[in-house]
Structure 1
Amino acid sequence: MMFLLLLLVGPAHAWVSLEDWGSGSVEGSVGEFGQCVCNVFLPDTTFPADRMENMQTSSNDLSIEVKLQINKVISLKGQLSVLLSELSNLTIRLEVLESGPDKYIKLEFELLRIELREFEALVTQLKLSLNFSSPAIESLYAEIRNMSSIVDQLESYDKSNLEVIRIEFAKLQKKLEKCQDDREDVSNAQIGSCKHRGILRMGKPIISQLNANLNSGYKYGGWGKDSSPVSGSEDMYWYAGAADTLFSTVTLYSDYYKLIIRQAYQTNQLYVAYKYDWRGSGNNYIVRSNALYYQYNNPFSMAKFNLTSATVQTKVLPEATTRFSYHYSPNQNLDFAADESGLWVTYATEASNGKLVLGKIDENSLELQEVWQTSVFKQSVTNAFMVCGVLYATRSVDTMTEEIFYTYDTNTDKETYVSIQFEKFQDFYVYLDYNPADQRLYMYNNGYYVYYNVKFRDA
Structure 2
Amino acid sequence: MQPVLTLLATLLLLPLVLLGQPQLVRNLSNSMNESGTCHCTVHLPNSSVLLQQLEQLQSMAKELIGEYEQQLLWASKYARAIEEQENQALEISQTQEIRNPNTITSLYETPAFNLLLLELEGAQALTAELKTKAGASRTADLLHQLQEQVTNASLSLKLLADSDQRSFRALQQEVDVLQGRLNECEREKEQEQASRHPGPPLPPGSCAHGGLQKVSRPLVLQLNWRGISHKAGAWGRDSAPSPDSPLYWVAPLRADGRYFDYYRLHKSYDDLVMLKNYEQWKMGYGDGSGNTVYKNFMYFNYYGTSDIAKVDLSSNTLVLQRPLPGATYNNRFSYASVPWKDLDFAGDEKGLWVLYATEESKGNLVVSRLNASTLEVEESWRTSQYKPALSGAFMACGVLYALRSLSTRQEEIFYAFDTTNGQERHLSILLDKMLETLHGINYSPSDHRLYVYNDGYLMYYDLTFLTLKPTLSRPAAKRPSGDRAPPRVVKSNRLQ
The interval holding the TM-score normalised by the smaller chain is 0.5 to 0.7
The residue number in structure 1 matching 2:339 is 330
Pairing of 1:47-446 with structure 2 (within 5 A) = 188-213=201-226, 215-228=227-240, 234-242=245-253, 243=255, 244-271=257-284, 279-312=285-318, 313-322=320-329, 323-446=332-455
CA contact (8 A) 1:187 1:453 kept: no
Aligned to 1:458: 467
Structure number with larger C-alpha Rg: 2
- Shift of residue 385, structure 1, vs aligned partner: 0.4
Distance 2:417 2:345 in 1: 16
CA-CA distance at 1:422 after TM superposition: 1.4
Task: Give the SS at the match of 1:270.
Answer: strand
Normalised TM-score (structure 1): 0.56
- Residues 229 and 290, structure 1, Cα contact 8 Å, conserved in 2: no
Q: Distance in 1 between matches of 2:343 and 2:286?
A: 11
Aligned residues: 268
Shift of 1:265: 2.8
Give the C-alpha shift of residue 229 in structure 1.
Answer: 7.2
State whether residues 187 and 455 of structure 1, in contact with CA within 8 Å, keep that contact through their aligned partners in structure 2: no
How much has 1:418 moved relative to structure 2? 1.3
Query: Residue type matched to 2:301 in 1?
Result: Q
Verify the 8 A CA contact 1:187 1:439 in the aligned structure 2: no
Structure 1 contact 229–288 (Cα < 8 Å) conserved: no
Instruction: Name the CA distance, whole Å, in 1 between partners of 2:447 and 2:357.
Output: 29
Residue 352 of structure 1, CA deviation: 0.6
- Could you tell me which amino acid in structure 2 is paired with residue 192 of structure 1? G
CA offset at residue 231 of structure 1? 9.0
Classify 1:428/1:298 alpha carbon distance in 2 versus 1 (closer, same or farther; 3 Å): closer
Mapped to 1, the partners of 2:249 and 2:223 lie a distance apart of 14
- Cα distance change, pair 185–450 in 1 and its aligned pair in 2 (3 A): farther
In structure 2, what is the Cα distance between the partners aligned to 1:337 and 1:223? 12
Give the structure 2 partner of residue 19 of structure 1: none
8 Å contact kept, 1:187–1:456: no
Conservation of the 8 A alpha-carbon contact between 2:235 and 2:442: no
Q: Structure 1 residues 184, 425: CA separation in 2 closer, same or farther (over 3 Å shift)?
A: farther
Looking at secondary structure, tell me which structure has more helix per residue.
2
Shift, 1:184, TM fit: 9.2
Q: Check the 8 A contact 1:188/1:455 in 2, yes or no.
A: no
Distance in structure 1 (CA, Å) of the matches to 2:200 and 2:224: 26
Distance in 2, matches of 1:333 and 1:351, equals 15
Q: Secondary structure at the match of 1:248?
A: strand
2-side partners of 1:413 and 1:382: how far apart? 22
Amino acid of the residue matched to residue 229 of structure 2?
A: G
Q: Secondary structure at the match of 2:404?
A: strand
- 1:337-363 CA-to-partner distances (Å, cap 9, x unmatched) read 011110000100001100000000000
Consecutive unaligned residues in structure 2, runs of 5 or more: 1-195, 469-496
* 2:270 partner SS: helix
Q: TM-score, normalised by structure 2?
A: 0.52
Q: Which amino acid aligns with 2:444?
A: N
Distance 1:298 1:397, change over 3 A: closer
- The one-letter code sitting in structure 1 at the alignment partner of 2:302 is Y
Alignment RMSD (CA, Å): 2.0
Q: Secondary structure at the match of 2:395?
A: strand
Distance 1:200 1:282, change over 3 A: same
Which residue identity is paired with 1:252?
A: L
Q: Percent identity, aligned pairs only?
A: 40
Q: Is the 8 A contact 2:338 2:437 kept in 1?
A: no
CA deviation profile, 1:398-453 (whole Å, cap 9, x unmatched): 11110011110001110111111111121122011111111100000111110000
Q: How far apart are residue 334 of structure 1 and its match? A: 0.4
Q: Which SS does the other structure have where 2:315 is aligned?
A: coil
Any gaps of 5 or more consecutive residues in structure 1?
1-182, 272-278
3-state SS, counterpart of residue 271 of structure 2: helix
Per-residue displacement from partner, 1:363-418 (whole Å, max 9, x unpaired)?
A: 00000000001110000100000011100000001111100111100011101111
CA contact under 8 A between 1:345 and 1:358: conserved in structure 2? yes
Q: Secondary structure at the match of 1:345?
A: strand
In the TM superposition, what whole-angstrom CA distance separates every residue of 1:2-26 from its partner, at most 9, and x where no partner exists? Answer: xxxxxxxxxxxxxxxxxxxxxxxxx
Distance 1:433 1:253 in 2: 16
The residue that corresponds to 1:65 in the other structure is none
* 2:273 alignment partner AA: I
